[in-house]
Structure 1
Amino acid sequence: MLDTSRRTVFDASHHAFRDEVRKFFAKELTPHLDRWEEQGIVDRSFWTACGRAGILCPNVPEQYGGLGLDFGYNAVIDEELAYLGSSAGITLQNDITAEYLVAYGSEEQKRKYLPAMIRGECITAIAMTEPGAGSDLQGIRTTARRDGNHYVLNGSKTYITNGQNADLIIVVAKTDPEKGAKGTSLILVDADTPGFARGRNLDKIGQNSADTSELFFEDCRVPITNCLGEENKGFVYLMSQLPQERLGIAISAMGAAQRAFDETVAFTRERKAFGKSVLDFQNTRFVLADLRAKLQVGWAHLDWAIKRHIEGKLDAAEGAAAKLWHTELQWEVMDACLQLHGGAGYMNEYPIARLWRDARVQRIYGGTSEIMREVIGRTL
């Protein structure tokens, strides 16, 4: 169990919510985790169960069916999910897509989609990355051309989380290609729209239970009213929401890193070598002591960042720094902990193997570590 006794950002209500989340995951997630990893996708019934339990989109305003809570409740869900070693895409819906609809959606869009998202009946994805454009969102080539009172979308996306399950996709497209980044818009595409097609569920190194897909748009027609926010303001919207997205990744990094550490302490205490516990070797204790000190610093910084974000003060550079530092720490912890498991660490039957595999992409999606350094460096 994740120890939160020394945390500073959460109050009694957050702790009570965490207890409910833990009970729910113990019943509805943990028993199915291995099966979801094997099948490469989370059951849709899990999403509707999450909806009934009130852990989808908790910070959506009450008039749209949400609980109107602060981001701290999202953080609780992110931490608990990561600590269990799950890559279920509910965090994307909670932390990213719902935020776009709340911040930029029309009243009609909010009332159409948000209640269904909260119930788990509408699963969402956001389609940014393309085969030729990853962290460089200015380089996207998917277009949305006006044709009367419709947009006609053409292009392809890849590495899209929730791609197989998604009922609604927020598509990043060029509505005015001649303007570059200033000609980018966010277009809502329902999955049953003619011209939209899903590709394969991609075969990844890790995070196997997260359905990650190619998406294709071929003369895909959607009403002009499906533009999310103002036309040609998409790039501004994306940049405005990135601090929360990157903070969410940092939170997940810490939850998973702590689980790896806890597993390794338990393993080395029980594992024997040369007649004594592996934990009794000075090298083991020193490695774990270094990791524990870094985790302590990490949790303190994370509480600062969550509090700052709740207050509306977390800026782009701070969000980038959080993602950079915590995901790099996550990988350091994972690699050291797998090493301390010895040969057992390479066996899939041990949790550390999955945690290690799943961690690798954290330094890539949401903006690579190299791009995070660029973002921070430009503020110097």
Structure 2
Amino acid sequence: MPQTLSQLFALDSLLEPDEIEIRDTVRRFADDRLRPHVAQWFDEARIPVRELARELGSLGVLGMHLDGYGCAGMSATAYGLACLELEAVDSGIRSLVSVQGSLAMFSIHHWGSEEQKQEWLPGMAAGEKIGCFGLTEPDFGSNPAGMRTHARRDGDDWILDGTKMWITNGSVADVAVVWARTEDGIRGFVVPTDTPGFSTLEIKKKMSLRASVTAELVLDGVRLPASAMLPLAKGLRGPLTSLGEARFGIVFGAIGAARDCLETAIEYARVREVFDKPLAAYQLTQAKIADMALEVGKGHLLAYQLGRIKDRGEVTPEQISTGKLNNVREAIAVARECRTILGANGITLEYPVIRHANNLESVLTYEGTSEVHQLTIGNALTGEAAFR
């Protein structure tokens, strides 16, 4: 009887019983509710965000690693496992959860006032309210310090002007956490999306993350009360801390996509006959599978280790960069190699491999490009900052 990847690496022996239960619960939801539809969503470039948000809220995964305000207060490792199972279906689903919980909700939870938390977090945890995170701009992705969006005082109010780009959930969100330059440095603002002057434009014709809503945010004289500013966030530390939370989910999520590709390729190779015997019986195929299994297994071990460090409150940005760089880079390599095992069938949406490969092209560069993470790790090891 063939072994599974989990058996080969004895992965369950590294998890607590409650973590396995959470993982299996999310996996069942993913298999029952998401897998039957995700290829069609990808093909049609649409996703029922509000419907899924409510279901994900009922499942308890929105902001599940946060405490209070309707959030589940689970461990970082449990949250990572949920991200892994969701991205094993599609990166767009994990992105929905990451942006909601690790970017928008985390920013309000970590940097917001009690009034802001009470107003937004319970509804967001339930999936009744959808959030987005406005940091990236058309000309400033890897260098957020150069952002042009600005906020100026007008009496007791703030006036926001600027543009944000590549914003997941942007055109369906009820609230946007927007980062802007002020006379007092970079500050964050909680912006209800029905505020006059706030508009969005959904980005179409994507070849990646098609089962995800991506938009441009336009702020044209958006007037907000003083209470809209996140009081505890000042400078780039605010948005970068939130990005670290999202990157952590990607460390787990990307390896979920790789696992799904590998499992698909193994199953296909076992039933596909070439020259009168299964494709899996050929040495070259087994060599590919063995090499990929090593990388996917090591990716799991790295993610689990980072989860344990984070649960102790000891994880550092360069450690998360290490996980994001390695696991996404290996995941996209695995997806491409699995495609070769499936041959021409690998380019159709009948199988998930090309969909994962396309999605991972986005995951490779968002939440920090590979080059940014290489420089972060290089800085940590040499003591020399080489970003400029």
TM bracket, shorter-chain basis: over 0.9
RMSD: 1.8
Q: 1:131 aligns with which of 138, 153, 173?
A: 138
Give the Cα separation in 1 of the matches to 2:350 and 2:363. Answer: 22
CA distance in 2, matches of 1:146, 1:60: 32
Task: Indicate yes or no: 2:313 matched with 1:312.
Answer: yes
Deviates more, 1:315-324 or 1:66-75: 66-75
Q: Could you tell me whether the CA contact under 8 Å between 1:78 and 1:251 is conserved in 2?
A: yes
- Structure 1 residues 234, 210: closer, same or farther in 2, change over 3 A? farther
Which sections of structure 1, spanning at least 5 residues, go unmatched? none
Instruction: After TM superposition, list the pairs within 5 Å mapping 1:158-197 onto structure 2.
Output: 158-176=165-183, 183-197=185-199
1:242 & 1:49 partners in 2: Cα distance? 25
- Aligned positions of 1:358-369 closer than 5 A: 358-369=359-370
Q: Is the 8 A contact 1:169 1:188 kept in 2?
A: yes
Count of matched residue positions in the alignment of Structure 1 and Structure 2: 373
Provide the rounded CA distance (Å) in 1 between the counterparts of 2:228 and 2:139. Answer: 25
* Deviation string, structure 1 residues 110-160 (Cα, Å, up to 9, x no partner): 000100001111111101111110111111100111111111111111110
Asked if 1 retains the 8 angstrom alpha-carbon contact of 2:264 and 2:351, the reply is: no
- The CA deviation string for residues 172-202 of structure 1, in whole angstroms up to 9 with x for no partner, is 11012xx7xxx11111111100000011233
Alpha carbons 1:2, 1:259 under 8 Å: kept:
no
Asked whether the equivalents of residues 2 and 80 of structure 1 are also in contact (C-alpha less than 8 Å), the reply is no
Spell out, residue by residue over 1:289-338, the C-alpha distance to the aligned partner (whole angstroms, 9 max, x if none): 11111222221111111111111111111111111011110111011111
Match of 2:171, SS state, is coil
SS at match of 1:378: helix
Aligned ranges for residues 121-160 of structure 1 at < 5 Å?
A: 121-160=128-167
Deviation at 1:2, TM superposition (A): 8.4
1:8 and 1:109 map into 2 onto residues whose CA distance is 41
Instruction: Provide closer, same or farther for how the CA distance between residues 230 and 43 of structure 1 changes in structure 2, counting only shifts above 3 A.
Output: closer
Q: 2 CA distance for matches of 1:69 and 1:288? A: 34
Distance 1:332 1:340 in 2: 13
Counterpart residue identity of residue 112, structure 1: E
Which secondary structure does the structure 2 equivalent of 1:210 belong to? coil
3-state SS of the aligned residue for 2:72? Answer: coil
Tell me the secondary structure at the aligned position of residue 242 of structure 2: helix
* Matching residue's letter, 2:199: A
Please say if 1:201 is aligned against 2:203. Answer: yes
Aligned-pair distance for 1:8? 5.0
Q: TM-score, normalised by structure 1?
A: 0.93
Q: Distance in 2 between matches of 1:359 and 1:261?
A: 15
Other structure's SS at 1:174 match? strand
Does the alignment pair 1:54 with 2:60? yes
Cα distance in 1 between the residues matched to 2:343 and 2:247? 32
287 and 23 in structure 1: CA distance in 2 versus 1, 3 angstrom threshold: closer
**Cα 1:219/1:338, change in 2 over 3 Å:** same
Q: SS of the counterpart of 1:13? A: helix
Q: Match for 1:19 among 18, 24, 38?
A: 24
What SS does the aligned partner of 1:26 have? helix
- Residue 336 of structure 1 corresponds to which residue in structure 2? 337
> In the alignment, is the contact (CA less than 8 A) between 2:296 and 2:331 conserved in 1?
no
* CA offsets 1:188-239 (integer angstroms, 9 cap, x no match): 11110000001123321111111000110000111111111346x1411123
> Does structure 2 conserve the Cα–Cα contact (< 8 Å) formed by 1:173 and 1:185?
yes
CA 1:279–1:168 in 2, change beyond 3 Å: closer, same or farther? same
Please tell me whether residue 282 in structure 1 is matched to residue 289 in structure 2. Answer: no
Runs of 4+ in 1 over 6 A off after TM superposition: none
Give the alignment's TM-score, normalised by structure 2. 0.91
> How far apart are the structure 1 equivalents of 2:82 and 2:191?
27
Greater mean alpha carbon deviation, residues 185-194 or residues 241-250: 241-250
- Report if the CA contact (8 A) 1:8-1:303 is conserved: no
Indicate the residue corresponding to 1:119 in structure 2. Answer: 126
Change (3 A) 1:295 1:24: closer
Alpha-carbon distance between aligned partners in 1 of 2:57 and 2:5, rounded to the nearest angstrom: 23
Matches within 5 A, 1:164-313: 164-176=171-183, 183-230=185-232, 233-313=234-314
Matched, 1:66 2:71: yes
